[in-house]
Amino acid sequence: MRFDPRLRRLPVLCLFACLTAQAQPNSSKEIAVHAGRLIDVRSGQVTKDAYVVIEGERIKAVVTSAPKGDAVIDMSQYTIVPGLIDCHAHILSNPTTQAAGSYLMTSAPQATVRGVANLQIWLSHGFTAVRDAGEEYPSYPQFALREGVAKGLITGPRIVAAGSFVSVTGGHGDADLLSPDKPGLGQPNTVDTVDDVSRIVRRDIKYGADWIKLMATGGVMDPISDYRVQELSEDQMARAVEVAHRAGRKVMAHAEGTVGIKAAVRAGVDSIEHGTLLDDEGAQMMSQRGTWLVPTLYCFQHDIETGLSKGRDPRSMDKGIEIVKQQGPAFKLALKYHLKIAYGVDDADVDESVSKEFGALVRGGMTPLEALQAATINSATLLSLDKDMGTIEPGKYADLVAVSGDPLSDITVMEHVSWVMKGGTVVKPLAK
Ligand SMILES: [Zn+2]
């Protein structure tokens, strides 16, 4: 993880703490959350009437009787699970349009404001962290939003962010849809040689990328690429991995077609995104190497329902209809080989749909507990946040989500989050 700018204030805080320690030995306020049912997402074990004791922004203890003297938040009618994590978010997306040229008509400031609004959607659905899976703007608004949340300037989930879509010219991440007789956009993210890859990966890192996002194959939402076709070469992806890992960053690869998935895995990427045409050999390779899968099942299904209603290009729609037939068998293979799977939404229609991947994972063959693990402990591990997030345990952030009912018997209750706490602060109160 990157250096936390808040640590710069540490000497000042220590000095303040030293000066006040004698006068107020118990100055940090403790509260407790009374959970009607508390789910241990590691084991699936449920504890009735548990109390999560919180000091500041972190969990101090989990006990089974009310701690004396603490203010208690009554969640006795609810099931409490850890804060959720979406590993495939595009926080600058505009949920009102799927038009291919919308990027060309949206400024970075407009996208940033949209991002602030989108972050509230994730937070109110219980997501206390997201990984931005890459954006088109060379000025990296996603990094500004990450810093805004970390400094408390805006509310939102904690953000781990990829930089550009590293893509070949004319590939899935080439946002320049203008005709050849128009001046090109000159986007820095289109790379056609191995050395070009070094340059854009270093640019992403220079300006603050936690992750590098590669376009290993074509995709669905753009009108021009072929999702079955490998785009970046294996050498290009291997270079990206070498440069990123040397700098302590991880690499995620958008990979739908079978050949591109395997090339990305051989190149050493940390996670395969979508994996929609995964075959037996590819699944076996991922299992052997410990490569993660973020399957993003629901967005493909949902985009079929949305159809052309949001200005989607019919060429993209045709691809969507074809590819959605492949995802079921591929996901079954992922389960058969026990791949490490994390939760990802990847839907421009962020409203409503952010919680619906849970249902898609279970319909695809996961147990409700496995789906819950995908969005908590698994996602936290993939993002190297597992020391701070992913379970309800002492020392971790007090990120808690309350739902009515039992997600272990009906996962769709996760679509109706009643209450959210992030870092010891209630960010979504119960409706009155
Ligand atoms: Zn995506």
CATH number of 84-382: 3.60.21.10, 1.20.1250.20, 3.20.20.140, 3.40.50.620? Answer: 3.20.20.140
* Residue 88 CA to ligand 1 centre (angstroms): 6
* Residue 89 CA to ligand 1 centre (angstroms): 7
Domain boundaries, the chain: 23-82+391-428, 84-382
pLDDT value at 331 more than 60? yes
* Residue 66 CA to ligand 1 centre (angstroms): 44
Average pLDDT over residues 352-373: 96
> Worst-scoring range by mean pLDDT, 20-34, 101-115, 304-318, 356-370?
20-34
pLDDT value at 99 more than 70? yes
| pLDDT on residue 195 | 98
pLDDT value at 142 more than 50? yes
Q: Which residues have C-beta within 8 Å of that of residue 11, sequence separation ≥ 6?
A: none
* Residue 34 CA to ligand 1 centre (angstroms): 37
* Residue 346 CA to ligand 1 centre (angstroms): 5
Residue 15's pLDDT band, with cuts at 50, 70 and 90, is very low
Higher pLDDT, 69 or 284: 284
pTM assigned to the model: 0.92
In the CATH scheme, what architecture does the domain 23-82+391-428 have? Answer: Roll (2.30)
| pLDDT on residue 51 | 98
pLDDT value at 108 more than 80? yes
* Residue 421 CA to ligand 1 centre (angstroms): 27
Tens of pLDDT along 16-54?
Answer: 333 333 333 334 689 999 999 999 999 999 999 999 999
* Residue 256 CA to ligand 1 centre (angstroms): 11
User: What percent of the chain clears pLDDT 90, i.e. is strictly above it?
Assistant: 83
Tens of pLDDT along 378-398?
Answer: 999 999 999 999 999 999 999
| pLDDT on residue 405 | 95
| pLDDT on residue 307 | 85
Tens of pLDDT along 282-324?
Answer: 999 999 999 999 999 999 999 888 888 888 888 888 988 999 9
* Residue 238 CA to ligand 1 centre (angstroms): 21
* Residue 133 CA to ligand 1 centre (angstroms): 6
* Residue 189 CA to ligand 1 centre (angstroms): 15
* Residue 309 CA to ligand 1 centre (angstroms): 20
Average pLDDT over residues 408-418: 97
